Amino acid sequence: MSATSPPDLGFPTDVPDEPGLISLRREGELAWITIERPQVMNCLSFPALRRFRTLLAELRGDLSLRCILITGSGTRAFCTGADLKERRTMAPERVGEFVHHIRSLMDDVQALPQPTIGVVNGFALGGGTELLLACDLRVAAPHATLGLTETSLAIIPGAGGTQRLPRLIGKSRAKDLILTARRVDAVEALDIGLVNRIATSTDGPDDTSDGNQVRRTLDECARNLAATIAQNGPIAVRAAKEAIDSGGEVSLAQGLDHESRCYASTLETQDRVEALAAFAEKRLPRFKGS
């Protein structure tokens, strides 16, 4: 962790930064960010938002990390969005500040140069699904439940859901989920492209009644996916992510031009030289991110 002063993210001065709400664990070139509020389904309070955004600001410049995994503590919930009990106590102007920061959290996640994986260990509702949409990839436990349920509360998704969901699964499917506020299970989420993997055991049928075993299987699946990404050239992985993300917002011609610039950024790297040498010598490459 950085010894420098935490970044100024514009939070109200009376919102504390509480380290215990969001944890960071490093595993070599991987990092796990975990929402540590299982007793309230890992919903996001104002202090949790501050801790989360502070951690992301610190990790953004750490390019020794090749993948960041985001999950919730326990086996019941990934994240169920905003802390509605806290929200009920807020004055209208305070609600506006909170919405600004939860929207900014999703932007922070999407803007990370490192690839991100959302690890869905149960319910991911409202802002929880919006957090997943900001990640690059999503791995779900068999019992995961996802949904943008805000219209059932007489509001709409306000942290990017109305924009990121249709870009991921298409307008018609996004309208189906948002207008009905219905929830989808892991199988349907995989079928419509909302998640990339369902974590299943290689030892036989999953016993979803054993929450701890399901959790271990989920973490192993997500870790293996992250490790597969991490074994590739880190500069190239970041460039590919940037090209895909930027190209989706412009015309094809503009996207191809941006791809060309991202490709050029990989040509002068030592990693590219190492990849060619490893191919010629019939060995695995040893990428250093340079």
187 vs 2, residue with greater confidence = 187
Percent of the chain with pLDDT over 90: 73
Question: Which superfamily is assigned to 234-281 in CATH?
Answer: Lyase 2-enoyl-coa Hydratase, Chain  A, domain 2 (1.10.12.10)
Q: Cα 40 vs. chain centroid, distance in angstroms?
A: 20
Closest among 67, 59, 76 to 122, alpha carbons compared: 76
Q: What is the pLDDT of residues 28-81, one digit of tens each?
A: 999 999 999 999 999 999 999 999 999 999 999 999 999 999 999 999 999 999
Pinpoint the residues of the chain covered by CATH 1.10.12.10: 234-281
Three-class SS state of 252 = helix
User: pLDDT tier at 281 (50, 70, 90 boundaries)?
Assistant: confident
* Angle, helices 92-111/127-134, rounded to nearest 10 degrees: 30
Catalytic residue of the set 72, 74, 122, 127: 127
Q: How many beta carbons lie within 10 A of that of residue 14, not counting itself?
A: 7
The burial class, CB within 10 Å (0-12 / 13-18 / 19+), for 88 is: exposed
pLDDT value at 206 more than 60: no
Does the CA dihedral 204-207-213-215 come out positive or negative? positive
CATH of 19-230, one of 3.40.50.300, 3.40.50.720, 3.90.226.10, 3.40.50.1000: 3.90.226.10
Catalytic residue of the set 82, 124, 134, 189: 82
Catalytic residue of the set 141, 150, 161, 199: 150
CA–CA separation, 91 and 103 (whole Å): 18
Average pLDDT value for residue range 260-283: 87
Query: Tell me, what's the pLDDT at 185?
Result: 97
Least confident segment among 50-59, 169-178, 183-192, 208-217: 208-217
Active-site residue, 127 included: yes
Active-site residue, 220 included: no
Prediction pTM value: 0.91
Pinpoint the residues of the chain covered by CATH 3.90.226.10: 19-230
Catalytic residue of the set 48, 130, 233, 239: 130
